[in-house]
Amino acid sequence: MSGVRLSGVTKDFGTVSVIPSLDLDISEGEFVVIVGPSGCGKSTTLRMIAGLEPVTSGSIFIAGKDVTWAPPKQRDIAMVFQSYALYPHMNVAGNMSFALRLARTPREEVRSRVQRAAEMLELTDYLDRRPRDLSGGQRQRVAMGRAIVRDAYCFLFDEPLSNLDAKLRSAMRTELAILHKKLDRTMIYVTHDQIEAMTMADRIVIMDRGIVQQIGSPRDVYNAPVNRFVAGFIGSPAMNFLDGEIIGGDTPAVAGDGFNLKLSGRQAEAARSHRNHRVTIGLRPEHFNVSGAGGTEASVFAPIELEVQVAEYIGSSQFIAARIRDVPITASIEVGPDSAPLKSGEYQFDTSRIYLFDRESGEAIARP
């Protein structure tokens, strides 16, 4: 059994249980992103894997070895910190080679490994600079370099991109994905940014209040969220939620204040068999469209009235902030670059794309 495995791991801080029970299986070479809102226990999980935080109970295995009580040194891991944590008194080469020097690696090998990592990260011109003379993006790279040089079994990333500006962040995302391909190492990446999770992960672990909500590929968690939390967390802009009720017997519809959407297919089937009539309806912003627009073969359109407050022009599509009665709705509508600002009125929604959740438990009843 290789990879990284957490088995029944719990963590309490004093009387507060941060992680009630966590089981996680990460295969060797996999890129797993743990994502969730702040305080959900994702960083604590990472720190427990790193050995910086002791577990309250449970076991952690890395590469098949029980490392639950092993110090970080013996876990064969490298970590990139959110604040980079570069040693300010050492230059870039010194920072990258610190671990190797501690391990008394022969000098020649240290040099060649630092050189190789620096080339990979385009840092060769900066090797004798101090961290404070570097830009944010360069520091970020040095932090990565420090991890790469180690050639560890597992790489841990604790929100490494959150201090970068938007443009640099998306560039580093790509680089990280490429890096993962090149190094072919197990990587565990913690973030609160679902875009980072979606773009880089082989598998996403979504956590909330210390509990894993869903584990799956980006496609799975986007298309088939198991509950309302996951549905609302994954996807940008976020999914719209409307409280409604299932009405009609054989030809069911969901209706609420200001809307009435006839269901068909899978959604209709689920609505017929679901006992609780009170549901939450999930509508992804990208599935709204102007009236009369075409869709795929499976599309079944239902009219929906939107009171548009602002329409943001962003090129080929428009983001609209609207309302259905009192409920705010965001929609992203593809209307082409020459379109006029969208106005209030009738829009259409593809009802084959409706998500239904039980209003009490939040569990998904039906999905596209």
Q: Which residues bind another protein (CB under 8 A)?
A: 50-52, 71-73, 77-79, 81-89, 98-99, 102-103, 130-132, 136, 139, 146, 150, 163
CB nearer to another protein: pick between 172 and 234: 172
Q: Which residues pair with 154 in a beta bridge?
A: 77, 186
CB nearer to another protein: pick between 138 and 352: 138
Smallest gap from residue 132 Cβ to another protein (A): 4
CB nearer to another protein: pick between 152 and 356: 152
Contacts of 365 (CB under 8 A, 6+ apart): 270, 271, 274, 279, 356, 357, 358
CB nearer to another protein: pick between 140 and 194: 140
CB nearer to another protein: pick between 56 and 82: 82
Smallest gap from residue 150 Cβ to another protein (A): 8
203-208 vs 31-35, strand pairing mode: parallel
Smallest gap from residue 84 Cβ to another protein (A): 6
Smallest gap from residue 18 Cβ to another protein (A): 15
Burial level of 132, CB count in 10 A (0-12/13-18/19+)?
exposed
Q: How many CB atoms lie within 10 A of CB 71?
A: 9
Are residues 44 and 53 in contact, defined by beta-carbon separation less than 8 angstroms? yes
345-350 vs 301-313, strand pairing mode: antiparallel
Residue 169 in tokens: 């962040």
Smallest gap from residue 282 Cβ to another protein (A): 39
Are residues 59 and 68 in contact, defined by beta-carbon separation less than 8 angstroms? yes
Task: Please state, in angstroms and rounded to a whole number, the distance separating the CA atoms of residues 60 and 49.
Answer: 7
Smallest gap from residue 189 Cβ to another protein (A): 16
Are residues 359 and 276 in contact, defined by beta-carbon separation less than 8 angstroms? yes
CB nearer to another protein: pick between 84 and 229: 84
